[in-house]
Amino acid sequence: MLVLLPPSEGKAASGHGAPVRPESLSLPGLTAAREAVLTELVELCSGDEDKAREVLGLSEGLRGEVAKNAGLRTAGTRPAGEIYTGVLYDALDLASLDAAARRRAASSLLIFSGLWGAVRVTDRIPPYRCSMGVKLPGLGALSAHWRAPLASVLPEVAGDGPVLDLRSAAYAAAWRPKGEVAGRTATVRVLHAPTRKVVSHFNKATKGRIVRSLLTDGAAPKDPAELVEALRDLGHVVEAEPPAKAGKPWTLDVLVTEVH
C-alpha cells in the first residue's frame, strides 16, 4: 500500500546532518525538477527579502524563513519524518512507532512537497518554506512544474496495491492518479458525524491517527475494499463510495464526533 501525505507548514527549527544532496533522495527521476526549484528558491531568497516574502506568501513574523531558504544548500538535514511537525505528524508520531511499524512507514509513506516533489520519510532534507501554491518568478506555479515529473515516476512507485490519498487539494493538484492506478486509489474526507460537514483541524489529526493505526497493525490490504474493512476493524467509522466507473478513485468518508 502507498500512502500519500501532505507536508506541514510546521517544521523542525533546524537540521543536524550533512547538507542535502538532491541526487541521493528517493525517486531519482525527480532530481532535475528538484534542482530547478531549489536553485530558483535559493536565488530568490538570497536577493530582495521583501520580494521573496511576497512570492512565498510569508508574513512579517516569518521573515526569518527567507534567510533559511537562502542557505538551503548548506543547511543541516534530518529525515523528512522528523522535519514535518504539524498536527497530522504529531498524531502520526513516527518516533514512537516500534521497529516493524517504522519499516512499514519507510516503505509506504510518501510526503508531497513544493520544493522536493515527493519524499520518503527517511530522506534527509533541511527545514524550508515553500508550499505547492507558490508561483516562482522563473518556474511559475509549482503544482504545474511538478505535474509531468510526478506523472512519470509515481505510477511505478504505486506498485499494484491500494493508494491511500490523504493530501490536501493544493498537493493533489500536482499528481492525480489516472487509469488503473486511479481505480485502486482511495481519497479520504473527515466529516463531523452528526452534521456531515467537513472538519478542519481535526481532519489532520484524524488522518495522522488513521495512518498510525494502519502502520501499527501491519495491515496489508490488496485493494480499496479491503482497505475499508481494515480501517473499520481498527475502529474507524468509514462510509465508502466505490467509483461509478472504472478508472476513478474511491471516496472514503471517515466520521468523527470531535471537531476541534
pLDDT digits (tens, 9 = 90+) for 165-208: 999 999 999 999 999 999 999 999 999 988 888 887 789 999 99
Q: Angle at CA 240, nearest 5°, toward 239 and 243?
A: 155
d(CA 156, CA 179): 13
Q: What is the pLDDT of residues 15-28, one digit of tens each?
A: 998 999 999 999 99
254 — pLDDT class (breaks 50, 70, 90): very high
The overall pTM is greater than 0.85 = yes
For residues 148-171, average pLDDT: 97
260 — pLDDT class (breaks 50, 70, 90): low
For residues 55-79, average pLDDT: 96
d(CA 80, CA 75): 14
Residue 252 belongs to what H/E stretch?
Answer: strand 250-256
Please, are residues 117 and 34 in contact by the beta-carbon 8 Å criterion?
A: yes
Please, are residues 245 and 181 in contact by the beta-carbon 8 Å criterion?
A: no
pLDDT of residue 259: 63
With a CB cutoff of 8 Å and minimum separation 6, the contacts of 73 are 19, 20, 38, 42
Q: What does each C-alpha distance from 234 to 189, 210, 228 come to in angstroms?
A: 17, 9, 10
What is the CB neighbour count within 10 angstroms for residue 100?
11
For residues 8-12, average pLDDT: 92
Q: Record the cell numbers describing residue 218, joined without a space.
A: 501491519
What is the CB neighbour count within 10 angstroms for residue 105?
21
pLDDT of residue 132: 98
pLDDT of residue 225: 96
